[in-house]
Amino acid sequence: MPDYTQYRTGEPVTDTKAPDGPVAERWDTRRFQAKLVNPANRRKHTVIVVGTGLAGGAAGATLAEQGYHVVQFCFQDSPRRAHSVAAQGGINAAKNYRNDGDSIHRLFYDTVKGGDFRARESNVHRLAQISVEIIDQCVAQGVPFAREYGGLLDNRSFGGVQVSRTFYARGQTGQQLLLGAYQALSRQIASGGVELHARTEMLDLIVVDGKARGIVARDLVTGKIDTYFADAVVLATGGYGNVFYLSTNAMNSNATAVWRAHRRGAYFANPCFTQIHPTCIPRTGDHQSKLTLMSESLRNDGRIWVPKAKGDDRPANKIPEDERDYYLERIYPAFGNLVPRDIASRAAKNVCDEGRGVGPGGQGVYLDFAEAIGRMGRKAVEAKYGNLFDMYQRITDEDPYTVPMRIYPAVHYTMGGLWVDYDLSTTVPGLFAIGEANFSDHGANRLGASALMQGLADGYFVLPSTINDYLARHPHTDTVDEAHPAVAEAVAETEDRINLLLSVDGDRTPDSFHREIGELMWEYCGMARTEDGLRKALARIPEIREEFWRRIKVPGTGEQFNQSLEKANRIVDYLELAELMCLDALHRAESCGGHFRAESQTPDGEAERRDEEFSYAAAWEFTATGGAPVLHKEDLVFEYVHPTQRSYA
Amino acid sequence: MKLTLRVWRQRNAEEPGAMATYEVDGISADMSFLEMLDTLNEELTLAGDEPVAFDHDCREGICGACSLVINGDAHGPERTTTCQLHMRSFADGDTIDIEPWRASAFPVIKDLVVDRSSFDRIIQSGGYISAATGTAPDAHATPVPKPDADFAFEHAECIGCGACVAACPNGSAMLFTSAKVNHLNVLPQGAPERETRVLDMVAQMDDEGFGGCTLTGECATACPKGIPLPSIAAMNKEWLRATRKVRR
């Protein structure tokens, strides 16, 4: 087997299915080109949807409304608990309700620029167009967005933009949007349009004659492994941030579905594009199991600072104003505390690396509301951010109304994911990926309040239009035979893996391996990456993998509710995905967005893109575990937003 | 700190369970309650025992998965979710009892994990507004008075954890059901289904085997999201109004 870093460059990806013509008309063009399925025939088609977050919940409900038979899965006990629920700040839409110069074109422009020119223009423009319909849809469902006294919707600002286009429901926007999708899905479950399997986890994809025709899934209560068949499979399984162990992701969010699909032929794009969110609560010790995000909306009114002097360990309120460095306001006067996430995170890391960090271990910066409380009054601050302040106090035992919050960056979102074309189809015909599970819209850095927008755009509007075209062109009249070799192979591989995990009976817990790979990734594939560090990680990962299969200990059996087995099984996939992330980060010898290569920076320390060499999406094809993958490049063409070095100064 | 834990262990729904006693040491006050259980589970795993099963996911108080009765209180001594409870709420040397939600409509799956799918079926019976994708008018077409929007939001905050049921001596789901009824019924968008929603959801709640409400108020005391007790009265009013208006 060739060395993992000796990857080969294969055929470029040339057809994205995005139509030609003016960017504002492409979505209409594509919808008109797409073949349709007659309403009476839709019920004859089964679509599997894996995941019930914003993308999956919205897609399942909408496909069932159209008349398709939907079979849907979530590993949680209820679809309402998918991790979209935890999104706090808001959802963007180009409504221009503030009359502050916003437009679809501006949201498109901001998103392409915010993504550091590594996203596909056609997709981003469609996202901006659909953003306005999403708000309408959610209000119709009863989502209780914040309103003003006149009864109309309120807005706020988020990082990387100069308009107020973010709709919100206090600090629980994700929860409220998810409940809207969950309730729409519940209506379809009640009417029989959706067959829901909760506490059931997808463990493999079934590809028959080159087309995705089903999945292998494990009932997490009984341990039973079953196969489910369909005419198309939709993955809405979220991101892979948990490869870092400590992240703001829910404990059970995982990469297994997308990684198994990748192993079955779906290309994985830009795996190294990880978002490190600047405003998380710093860790307190080795027991830490996850990190908690403080919504970016806090940067609307909070001011970020550190002491000017190194090693200044006085309490915040003893540091006089002229000895504080409001470094974001100083370096980026135009955007101030509202610079995009990648820039805010890196700036925090820089001041901490200089020895000016605050709190335990110097791994933190202040987010101070004293000025806001003085300006708006405590009551107004409480109304805007009350629940976030309460959460902060509960976790840290400090009162943010009197003592500045301490924050530090943490892994939050993954822009990379399964490569999809304009129709959201992966490279396996019949397999679609939506929401965070795909790679398409955020380039190398996602702007705040755009994840909810993309999840719902994909789920409510894009996929339900584009999947028609596939189903109309592939009217599967056959049912998949259980005894087909491809089915038997997928089931056998799943069973073998579970049996192997249970039989090693070593001396290390699943969590200990997860922590180890997570720490390695944070060290070498985190906020700043170097060739040297990435090569170290790439040498170490196969060793951890080998040790894993020698020393893992999973108590209990496979025929029962077994959370240790669930964890261990997910770690197997992290140990392969981590390798691809490091390789992708190594091969992309430029800095862009959240991917910062120390070797590629401007004289003043900003990320330096190298467009001549890297203006492409990197879509990787799997070959074998530990075997060098094949790189397929999709060249990115910018006709409307011309690449410039991003400036927020 | 050092603690004695008495934990409910039950292999599956069929077999009877019992309390088991464990000692844990080296617990820091900054740990969350679930991180304390993680510590126990790491030790159990290395000793070759099965770790204690419990539901958890976001660990930031919003997904509603975590669900432990701690020293007899749903979610423990603080008014929050179990995942947001920290060990600084306990003292060195404490003995802590940890049990699953206790309610006939929430059967135990394993150890501290229960089946709450009855809540999903209550929502499926009417806890939604029928607005198929693509049918919506402009979001500003129907202004919603701020007091109504705030009332809706206050009730929409429910995370469906089930603490209200676990805390109730009758195992009643009135607070959960009323939260959704009130969220949707106060909004103009929810008006067309206002009557059928409350009638169907209450009927489903009864069918699932939840107990009746005697206004004990334990539910609202245990609710980590502060759904207020008058929510139940508001739902009863909706129900009475609906029974008078709808003949079926």
Nearest-10 crossing angle of helices A531-551, A510-525: 170
Looking at the predicted structure, is the pLDDT value of residue A356 above 70? yes
From the candidates B57, B186, B196, which should be mutated to test the interface with A, based on the most A CB atoms within 10 A?
B57
Please count the residues of chain A.
649
Q: Is B138 on the interface with A (CB under 8 A)?
A: yes
Please list the rounded mean pLDDT of every run of 10 residues in chain B (248 residues). 98 96 96 97 96 97 97 97 97 98 96 98 98 97 96 98 98 98 98 97 98 97 97 98 80
**Do A142 and B184 lie within an 8 Å CB cutoff?**
yes
- What's residue A295's pLDDT? 84
Question: Which one-letter amino acid corresponds to residue A640?
Answer: Y
Closest residue on chain B to A220 (Cα): B109
Please check whether the two domains, B3-110 and B117-245, share a CATH topology: no
- What's residue B247's pLDDT? 59
Shortest CB distance from A289 goes to which of B35, B49, B115? B35
- Shortest Cα distance, chain A CAs vs residue B62, angstroms: 6
Looking at the predicted structure, is the pLDDT value of residue A261 above 90? yes
Q: What are the strands of the beta sheet with A200-208, ordered from one edge?
A: A200-208, A211-219, A225-229
ipTM over 0.85: yes
Q: What are the strands of the beta sheet with A365-368, ordered from one edge?
A: A274-280, A405-414, A365-368, A303-307, A324-325
Do A282 and A407 contact (CB within 8 A), yes or no?
Answer: yes
**Do B57 and A250 lie within an 8 Å CB cutoff?**
yes
CATH architecture of B117-245: Orthogonal Bundle (1.10)
CATH architecture of B3-110: Roll (3.10)
Q: Concatenate the DSSP letters of all residues of A494-548 into one string.
A: HHHHHHHHHHH--SB-HHHHHHHHHHHHHHHHSSSB-HHHHHHHHHHHHHHHHHH
- What's residue A2's pLDDT? 63
pLDDT (mean) for A314-335: 95
**Do B58 and A86 lie within an 8 Å CB cutoff?**
yes
Residue keyed to tokens 């890297």? A614
pLDDT (mean) for A264-283: 96
How far CA A252 is from CA of A201, A261, A571, in Å, comes to 11, 19, 11
Q: Concatenate the DSSP letters of all residues of A237-289 into one string.
A: ----GGGGSSSSS-TT--SHHHHHHHHTT--EE-TT-EEEEEEEPPP-STT--
pLDDT (mean) for A76-98: 96
Helix (H) or strand (E) holding A425: none
Q: Residue A341 catalytic?
A: yes
Q: How far apart are CA A387 and CA B164, in angstroms?
A: 21
Q: Concatenate the DSSP letters of all residues of A37-67 into one string.
A: --HHHHTT-EEEEE--SHHHHHHHHHHHHHT
- What's residue B246's pLDDT? 65
- Copy the structure tokens of residue A268: 């994985």
pLDDT (mean) for A11-36: 96
In degrees rounded to 5, what are phi and psi of residue A341? -60, -45
Do A102 and A460 contact (CB within 8 A), yes or no?
Answer: no
Q: Which of A340-344, A350-354, B115-119 has the lowest mean pLDDT?
A: A340-344
pLDDT (mean) for A504-533: 97
- Copy the structure tokens of residue B71: 């020293």
- Domain boundaries, given as residue ranges, for chain B: 3-110, 117-245
Strand bridging mode A417-418 / A268-269: antiparallel
pLDDT (mean) for A97-103: 96
Question: Which one-letter amino acid corresponds to residue A357?
Answer: G
Looking at the predicted structure, is the pLDDT value of residue A1 above 70? no
CA angle centred on A266, ends A262 and A268, rounded to 5° = 70
Considering A26, A30, A156, A341, which one is annotated as catalytic? A341
- Copy the structure tokens of residue B175: 């607070």
Question: Smallest Cα–Cα separation from A72: which of A178, A210, A206, A201?
Answer: A201
Looking at the predicted structure, is the pLDDT value of residue A497 above 90? yes
- pLDDT-derived band at A160, boundaries 50, 70, 90: confident
Q: How far apart are CA A90 and CA A430, in angstroms?
A: 32
How does pLDDT run across A578-630, given as a tens digit for each residue? Answer: 999 999 999 999 999 999 999 999 888 888 999 999 999 999 999 999 999 99
- Copy the structure tokens of residue A556: 């209990």
- What's residue B133's pLDDT? 98
**Do B44 and A555 lie within an 8 Å CB cutoff?**
yes
**Do B31 and A77 lie within an 8 Å CB cutoff?**
no
- What's residue A346's pLDDT? 92
The 10 Å Cβ neighbour count of residue A474 is 13
User: Hey, CA dihedral for A33, A39, A425, A83, is it positive or negative?
Assistant: positive
Map out the domains of chain A with their CATH numbers.
Answer: 277-412 (3.90.700.10), 487-608 (1.20.58.100)
Averaged pLDDT of chain A:
95
Shortest CB distance from B124 goes to which of A186, A394, A512? A186
Q: Which residues of A touch B131 (CB under 8 A)?
A: 137, 140-141, 184
Looking at the predicted structure, is the pLDDT value of residue A466 above 70? yes
- Shortest Cα distance, chain B CAs vs residue A179, angstroms: 9
pTM tops 0.95: yes
Looking at the predicted structure, is the pLDDT value of residue A167 above 90? yes
Do A30 and A19 contact (CB within 8 A), yes or no?
Answer: yes
In degrees rounded to 5, what are phi and psi of residue A94? -85, 55
Of all residues in chain A, the percent with pLDDT exceeding 70 is 100
Question: Smallest Cα–Cα separation from B32: which of B70, B82, B77, B106?
Answer: B82
- Copy the structure tokens of residue A598: 């120390």
